[in-house]
Amino acid sequence: MKKLIVFILITGVVLASTLPLSQEKSELLKLERQKIQQDINRGEKSWISPLSLSASLSKSQDATETQSEMKSAGLGWNQDIFRSGGIYYTIDQAKALGQVNLLGVDINEALYLKQAYTLKAQIERDRLLYKQNELTLKNSNINLFITTAKYKAGNSDITDLNNATISRDTARTNLISTKNTLSNEIYGLKQLVGNKKIDTIILPNIPLISQSKYLQRNLELLQYKAKDKNNDASWKITRASYLPKLTLNGSVGYSNYQGNIMGYSGNSYSYGVTLSMLLDINSKATVESARLQYLQTRTAEINRKQELEQQYKMIVETIANYKEKIGVAQEMTSMYNDLYSFTDAQVKAGSKSTYDLESLGNSLKIQKLEKKIQVYNIIIEKISLYFDTKQ
Q: For residues 82-107, give the mean pLDDT.
A: 88
Amino acid 19: pLDDT: 66
Q: For residues 60-86, give the mean pLDDT.
A: 77
pLDDT value at 329 more than 50:
yes
Q: For residues 105-111, give the mean pLDDT.
A: 93
Q: Using one digit for the tens of pLDDT, what is the confidence trace for 255-275?
A: 877 777 777 777 888 888 888
pLDDT value at 283 more than 80:
no
* Domain locations in the chain as residue ranges: 2-47+83-242+278-386, 53-82+247-277
Q: What percent of the chain has pLDDT over 90?
A: 48
Q: Using one digit for the tens of pLDDT, what is the confidence trace for 132-164?
A: 999 999 999 999 999 899 888 888 899 988 999
* Span of 35-39, 96-100, 182-186, 283-287 with lowest mean pLDDT: 283-287
Amino acid 65: pLDDT: 66
pTM of the model: 0.82
* Span of 15-29, 141-155, 197-211, 316-330 with lowest mean pLDDT: 15-29
pLDDT value at 68 more than 80:
no
Domain 2-47+83-242+278-386 maps to which CATH number in 1.10.10.10, 1.20.1600.10, 3.40.50.970, 1.25.40.10? Answer: 1.20.1600.10
Name the residue with higher pLDDT: 178 or 26. 178
3-state SS string for the chain: CHHHHHHHHCCCCCCCCCCCCCHHHHHHHHHHHHHHHHHHHHHHCCCCCCCEEEEEEEEEECCCCCEEEEEEEEEEEEEEEECCCHHHHHHHHHHHHHHHHHHHHHHHHHHHHHHHHHHHHHHHHHHHHHHHHHHHHHHHHHHHHHHHHHHHHCCCCHHHHHHHHHHHHHHHHHHHHHHHHHHHHHHHHHHHHCCCCHHHCCCCCCCCCCHHHHHHHEHHHHHHHHHHHHHHHHHHHHHHCCCCEEEEEEEEEEEEEEECCCEEEEEEEEEEEEEECCCCCCHHHHHHHHHHHHHHHHHHHHHHHHHHHHHHHHHHHHHHHHHHHHHHHHHHHHHHHHHHHHHHHHHHHCCCCHHHHHHHHHHHHHHHHHHHHHHHHHHHHHHHHHCCECC
